[in-house]
Amino acid sequence: MAGWFEQLVGVLVILVALLDIFLTVLYAKIGADGASRAGAGIVSLRVARATWWAFRRLSGRLPVRRDAAWSFCGPATVVCLVVVWSALLALGAALMLHPALGEGVRSSSSHAHDFVTALYVGGSSLAFTSSSDYSPQTDFYRLLYLANALIGTGCLSVTITYILQLYNAVLQRNSLGLSLCVMTKDTADAAVLLAALGPQGRFDTGYTVVANLASQLTAVKEAHHLYPLLFFYRPYHPASSIPQIAFVALDTVTLLRTALDDGQYRWVKESAAVENLGGLASIMVKTLESTFIPGAAPEKRDAREPADQRDAWCARYRAALRQLEGAGICVRADRDEGAQQYARLRQAWDPGIGRLAGYMGYDMAVIDPATAQARGIKAAPDR
């Protein structure tokens, strides 16, 4: 009876590992409403959170190169997850084979029956080319060896495919971040981007650029939806981070809607491309915040902003107007009303980006240097 119970536990352990691999690799997703947990894995999210916590603590204790150390979190998460999956499969196989050592599974050179030997034999059975000299003696254990080999080979194949797709998603995100970095002249200032989109007041070509940025952002948002582990790939340079990508996109849309003259640019302000860019960025921020940040509930937070924050946003808005005028773009006449509208729209999305940036260890003065400059705050040097 003890042997059958041990084998039953082994079956359950293998099923847990297979279910987690299936839900993480083949059915990976984040809830579309932004309120669901990250992915559907049983083990994977816990491993990712534990690795993130360890790197957060480790980087906080380093005097220098903290960002560089933290950038290893994503690859380390994948390594830890592969190790956990492999350990669970090996443990499950060991529990199933342990009662059979010496009878159903025998070796010509060893008569050991301990659990360490069972773990070695079980891990070896997960490959068609077993490295142990233990071999099954009955039809049941021959079929069990075959099933273990199929499970091990299949899990290895889907895991390798998943890792390749995950790094393709990292490439998409980094490419979008690099594009925004270049278009803002490495300033992360949406006013610089907006001025480049409409040189001398002409947004004909700029509209196409906005549409392309929205298309790239769609791919990045869906990459986080399908590969939740992508969130834990914290880039060294903040330009490729989700907080800065989302900030530049949302601030560009907010400035475009509040700073440009309605008479000349209404067609741009009400275009589908602008709506798509702002909507996707907002959805991505809310989804990631509610999914990954413990205790986050954006919809229940106080919607009021401090007076000094509103003043800084208004000062940032007026500085942006001067930049746009210098580029030959016609801006709205009522600047005070525009500043108030800018602050109202920004209040809807800025707190979420601030929480994401704080959780990921980025200084908001680096994510939003224009507002920091308006408040007289200097960005922290690269660590």
Domain map of the chain by residue range? 2-159, 171-374
Residue type, 219: A
User: CA 331 to CA 340: how far, in whole Å?
Assistant: 15
* Among 195, 62, 356, 271, CA closest to 187: 195
Q: Answer yes or no: are the C-beta atoms of 45 and 37 closer than 8 Å.
A: yes
Provide the 3-class DSSP secondary structure of residue 23: helix
Residue listed under structure tokens 């200032």: 189
User: CA 345 to CA 256: how far, in whole Å?
Assistant: 12
Return phi, psi of residue 202, to 5°.
-105, 115
User: CA 243 to CA 45: how far, in whole Å?
Assistant: 21
Query: Up-side HSE of residue 258: CA atoms within 13 Å toward CB?
Result: 27
pLDDT in the model for residue 305: 58
pLDDT in the model for residue 201: 86
Give pTM, 2 decimals: 0.86
**CA distances for 183 relative to 38, 109, 199, 252, 365, angstroms:** 32, 69, 13, 12, 19
**CA distances for 239 relative to 37, 177, 191, 215, angstroms:** 27, 5, 16, 18
**CA distances for 294 relative to 228, 281, 322, angstroms:** 15, 21, 40
User: CA 295 to CA 315: how far, in whole Å?
Assistant: 32
Apex CA 54: angle with CA 368 and CA 354, to 5°? 20
pLDDT, one tens digit for every residue, the chain (383 residues): 577 889 999 999 999 999 999 988 888 676 544 444 445 578 888 899 999 999 988 887 877 778 888 989 999 999 999 999 999 999 999 999 988 888 888 887 777 788 999 999 889 989 887 767 888 889 998 999 999 999 999 999 999 999 999 999 999 999 999 999 999 999 999 999 999 999 888 898 888 999 999 999 999 999 988 888 999 999 988 999 999 999 999 999 999 999 999 889 999 998 999 999 999 999 999 989 888 887 655 444 444 556 778 889 999 999 999 999 999 999 998 999 999 999 999 999 999 999 999 999 898 999 999 888 877 655 554 45
Strands (E), the chain: 105-107, 134-136
Residue type, 371: T
pLDDT in the model for residue 298: 47
pLDDT in the model for residue 375: 74
pLDDT in the model for residue 28: 66
pLDDT in the model for residue 31: 53
Which residues contact residue 312 at a Cβ distance below 8 angstroms, ignoring those fewer than 6 apart?
371, 374, 375
User: CA 372 to CA 383: how far, in whole Å?
Assistant: 19
**What is the residue-wise DSSP string for 126-137?**
TSSS-SSSEEE-
